[in-house]
A and B are shown apart, each in its own frame.
Chain A
Amino acid sequence: DAMVIQNPRYQVTQFGKPVTLSCSQTLNHNVMYWYQQKSSQAPKLLFHYYDKDFNNEADTPDNFQSRRPNTSFCFLDIRSPGLGDAAMYLCATGDRAYQPQHFGDGTRLSIL
């Protein structure tokens, strides 16, 4: 089945130690999204790629970066994680305008 796959499912890192989360898709969608979801809250959009065009949300901290080397893969880099960055990070894809997004199962990030 065509899917959005996030690795790892659980990630533990130390305060201030850079961490990278990955997302891959077999749907061949041209849009990829990264969301942050804290406990019992709605997903919050961090940024998205439309093809290679990067679009940052205005309130996304500079600590968060992203890379999309090709259509299938997208990475979320957190340069210096703080305790407040502990959350579930969701990757999603989309193709045609106004059509539903397809979500991966997320990576739960813990900060020690």
Chain B
Amino acid sequence: AQSVTQLGSHVSVSEGALVLLRCNYSSSVPPYLFWYVQYPNQGLQLLLKYTTGATLVKGINGFEAEFKKSETSFHLTKPSAHMSDAAEYFCAVVREGSQGNLIFGKGTKLSVKP
């Protein structure tokens, strides 16, 4: 069955440090992948998406992700963490056989220490 796995339910970094949030997916068809961010008591906001083409995808707020087919991964990175990056991050893949239904990972809560 199709799935999304996010390694680490909690990640803590210092302000200014590299952010790396891991996402692995399983899909029998070329995947459409997304990263969303959720701040407390808010909805999900799109950070970036991979559909086709360039495997290194740049998003908002300085985030980027690289699609690696051989590793079935779509890890999210940011070179320098900011306090405002503290939030929950969800990786998602479009469900096979649908045109937009998403399968989400369980999320990673990012904490940023001053």
Check B43–A45 contact: CB distance below 8 A.
Answer: no
User: Total contacts A to B, CB within 8 angstroms?
Assistant: 56
Mask, B33-46, CB within 8 Å of A = 1, is: 01010000111111
Check A43–B104 contact: CB distance below 8 A.
Answer: yes
Given contacts A98-B32, A98-B51, contact A41 B107 (CB under 8 A): yes
Mask, B90-114, CB within 8 Å of A = 1, is: 1000100001111011110100000
Check B44–A42 contact: CB distance below 8 A.
Answer: no
Q: Which residues of A contact B51 (CB under 8 A)?
A: 98
Q: Which residues of A contact B102 (CB under 8 A)?
A: 45, 101
Cα of A105 to Cα of B109 in the assembled complex, Å: 18
Measured between C-beta atoms, what is the minimum distance from A78 to chain B in Å? Answer: 19
Measured between C-beta atoms, what is the minimum distance from B27 to chain A in Å? Answer: 13
Q: How many residues of A contact B (CB 8 A)?
A: 26
Mask, A72-112, CB within 8 Å of B = 1, is: 00000000000000001010101001111111111010000
Q: Does B82 contact A (CB under 8 A)?
A: no
Q: How many residues of B contact A (CB 8 A)?
A: 23
Q: Does B78 contact A (CB under 8 A)?
A: no
B4's nearest neighbour on chain A, judged by CB, is A42
B107's nearest neighbour on chain A, judged by CB, is A42
Measured between C-beta atoms, what is the minimum distance from A20 to chain B in Å? Answer: 19
Q: Does A21 contact B (CB under 8 A)?
A: no
Measured between C-beta atoms, what is the minimum distance from B61 to chain A in Å? Answer: 15
Q: Which residues of A contact B45 (CB under 8 A)?
A: 103
Mask, A22-50, CB within 8 Å of B = 1, is: 00000000010100000011110100100
User: Chain B residues in contact with chain A, CB under 8 A?
Assistant: 9, 32, 34, 36, 41-46, 49, 51, 90, 94, 99-102, 104-107, 109
The 9 residue pairs across chains A and B that have the minimum distance between CB atoms: A103-B43, A97-B99, A42-B104, A103-B44, A98-B32, A100-B46, A105-B43, A94-B100, A105-B42
